[in-house]
């Protein structure tokens, strides 16, 4: 797992150097690069300024293989150019400071600075030009010749560098989301094992689940790649589903009625749960605590079906729900946990807030909290401006026993009553669709 990420990072400078060679042919020759007035000099695209390039190089330091000392040298050279030269096609951005003076400013030897300059030339960031005695100087006449460190090669590759940063940011966001998913699924799996140890301590299936847990790594290494984390996530998700199915089977009645047995009194009226207020929902959940049915996700969603939760979710949450469902016909509790974890980075919620929600609320209720926060970002009256702050508020309310997720879910259902009730009989949005297994 570690080697995969190392190979990925080591390949970045090679790819970038190939792009530099392709995009700046003929610009690597020292004298020709600085003295060719036949065409306009490259400039920064759009409204970019010299300072934007400094920030870009700082962000890409590790990916480009630049040591902190070499990056400091590169930034010192850049800051000794005129900012206007980076956006003026009629002139070149050149650093004229003498090598000895620049070495003194950086508190390093001239020899070390020469090594830095040679490495930056190989990376395609600068090209060097000097007069006969090796000195650098600006022209004193109208001659186009310039002698110094030219940043035309770097300017030519700015687009590639921004694409590289975007690629690395996407990779980092994916790794973070997968890590948060793994944390939530592991927490859910531990809760399921705890429940099974209390109800079926001698079950062979419980032993198999415990052996699977022992085979997992004790912690997630920060250097794991997205592919390694995704493989780990899939293994945990499969174990969670297996444990949930085993737990639900244990809750089902073991006896079956005789085929010719007919009750004298039969009630054929279909009853569908109605939720008029939060108090009614809480009363219903309290009445079922002694024998929780096996077809609900939790007391907060006893009155909702999986497709109703899907309908009240935001478009972004639905996107992740469709992705993690992976072709299965029905949603399950694991889908909502994974989708919520994927939305945490996108909503700007910190990792610590998510981890605290997992510990305090349980993974399923934390997922419902994210669903509610996400859906209320477009609330017509009081839209959510700080998702992370609201999640912390939910945690504080839970500690005080005043968190009412059911009331928030009822409000979302009321706002989207049309889409929730849509669908012909027998469809996935019909009333007869199964609910979640219990928590």
Find out whether 110 and 103 touch, Cβ atoms under 8 Å: yes
CA dist 149 and 101 (Å) reads 14
Provide CB contacts within 8 A for 332, sequence distance 6+: 241, 244, 306, 436, 437
pLDDT tens per residue, range 337-378: 999 999 999 999 999 999 999 999 999 999 999 999 999 998
DSSP secondary structure of 75-132: HHHHHTS-GGGGT-TTS--EE---HHHHHHHTTS-HHHHHHHHHHHHHHTS-EE---T
pTM: 0.69
pLDDT tens per residue, range 18-66: 444 444 343 333 333 344 444 578 999 989 999 999 999 999 999 999 9
CA dist 157 and 120 (Å) reads 13
Burial class (CB in 10 A: 0-12, 13-18, 19+), 263: exposed
pLDDT tens per residue, range 221-271: 777 888 999 999 999 999 999 988 888 887 655 444 444 434 433 444 444
CB-CB neighbours of 324 under 10 Å: 21
pLDDT tens per residue, range 180-214: 999 999 999 999 999 888 888 888 888 888 888 88
pLDDT tens per residue, range 155-178: 999 999 999 999 999 999 999 999
């Amino acid at each position: 797992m570690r080697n995969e990420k190392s190979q990925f990072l080591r390949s970045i400078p090679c790819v970038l150097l190939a792009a530099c060679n392709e995009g700046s042919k003929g610009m690597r020759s020292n004298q020709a690069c600085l003295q060719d007035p036949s065409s306009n000099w490259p400039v920064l695209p759009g409204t970019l300024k010299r300072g934007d390039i400094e920030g870009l190089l700082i962000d890409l330091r590790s990916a480009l293989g630049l040591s902190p000392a070499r990056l400091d040298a590169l930034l010192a050279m850049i800051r000794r150019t005129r900012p206007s030269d980076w956006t003026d096609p009629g002139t070149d951005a050149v650093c004229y400071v003498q090598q000895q003076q620049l070495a003194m400013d950086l508190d390093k030897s001239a020899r070390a600075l020469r090594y830095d300059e040679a490495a930056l030339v190989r990376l395609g960031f600068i090209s060097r030009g000097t007069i006969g005695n090796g000195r650098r100087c600006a022209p004193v006449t109208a001659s186009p010749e310039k002698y110094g460190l030219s940043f035309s090669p770097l300017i030519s590759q700015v687009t590639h560098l921004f694409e590289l940063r975007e690629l690395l940011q996407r990779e980092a966001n994916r790794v973070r989301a997968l890590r948060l998913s793994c944390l939530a699924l592991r927490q859910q799996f531990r809760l399921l094992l705890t429940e099974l140890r209390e109800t079926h301590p001698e079950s062979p299936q419980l032993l198999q689940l415990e052996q699977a847990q022992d085979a997992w790594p004790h912690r997630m290494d920060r250097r794991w790649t997205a592919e390694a984390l995704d493989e780990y996530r899939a293994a945990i998700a499969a174990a969670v589903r297996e444990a949930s199915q085993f737990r639900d089977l244990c809750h089902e009645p073991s006896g079956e009625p005789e085929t010719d047995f007919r009750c004298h009194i039969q009630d054929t009226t279909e009853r569908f749960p109605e939720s008029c207020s939060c108090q009614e929902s809480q009363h219903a959940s309290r009445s079922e605590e002694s024998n929780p049915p096996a077809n609900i996700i939790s007391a907060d969603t006893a009155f909702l079906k999986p497709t109703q939760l899907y309908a009240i979710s935001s478009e972004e949450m639905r996107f992740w729900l469709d992705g993690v469902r992976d072709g299965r016909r029905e949603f399950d509790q694991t889908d909502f946990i994974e989708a919520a974890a994927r939305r945490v980075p996108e909503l700007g919620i910190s990792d610590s807030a998510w981890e605290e929600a997992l510990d305090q609320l349980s993974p399923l209720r934390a997922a419902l909290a994210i669903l509610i926060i996400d859906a209320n970002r477009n609330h017509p009256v009081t839209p959510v401006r700080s998702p992370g702050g609201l999640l912390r508020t939910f945690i504080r309310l839970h500690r005080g026993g005043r968190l009412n997720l059911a009331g928030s879910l009822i409000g979302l259902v009321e706002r989207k009553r049309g889409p929730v009730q849509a669908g012909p009989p027998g469809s996935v949005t019909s009333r007869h669709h199964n609910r979640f297994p219990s928590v």
